[in-house]
Amino acid sequence: MQVARAAPAPAGESDRAAESQRASRRLYVPTIVIAGLAAWLSYRGWTALAQTGVARSFDAGRYNLAGPVVLGFVLTVCVLEQLFPAQRRPLLARGHLLDFCYAVFYALLVIPLVVLLGAGFSDLLARLAPWLVLPRAPGSPAGASSRSRCSASTRWTG
């Protein structure tokens, strides 16, 4: 049995293929800059929230970003999807489990990142533009204005 060999590609085509492969391995500078900026703002947010409690702010962020209204909406959509499906699937189908994993990923990693980024940005903005920070209003709790300045997710219900 003979195996036919493919003719070698012209030199121009192999150079272009190698250049394309090298280009796909290079790092995209704007992506690195955005990741560095997010890490820096997250660090600033962590230091700003250290005064009031990072875990407390994460819990408040989870309540704001995945609170009862959001969970109720997701539950309603899931029930309606099972009652009136576009295509009938078992309850524990791969797609449903993957959606559940995405929701857990969102709750465990994305919400704390959003809280840290918001706190870091608001702290940076309060330092660079102090005229944007509201003065303490009479009758408000002692730390209400500083808490709202440090964390976008901290809610005051007074």
Q: What tens digit of pLDDT does each residue of 9-50 get?
A: 555 667 777 776 776 677 888 999 999 999 999 999 999 888
Q: How far, CA to CA in Å, does 157 sit from each of 48, 144, 154?
A: 21, 10, 10
Instruction: Report the share of the chain in percent with pLDDT over 90.
Output: 18
pTM passes above 0.75: no
pLDDT reading at 110 higher than 60 = yes
Helices vs. strands in the chain: H and E counts, helices first: 7, 0
Question: In b/e form, how buried is each residue of 86-107, taking b as 16+ CB within 10 angstroms?
Answer: eeeeeeeeeeeeeeeeeeeeee
The C-alpha atoms of residue 154 and residue 136 are separated, in whole angstroms, by 16
- What pLDDT score does 136 carry? 76
Q: Whose structure tokens read 């150079």? A: 15
- For residue 113, with 0-12 CB atoms within 10 Å meaning exposed, 13-18 middle and 19 or more buried, which class applies? middle
- Number of CB atoms found within 10 A of residue 59's CB: 14
Looking at every residue in the chain, the average pLDDT score rounds to: 79
Helix (H) or strand (E) holding 140: none
Is 64 within 8 Å of 155 (Cβ atoms)? yes
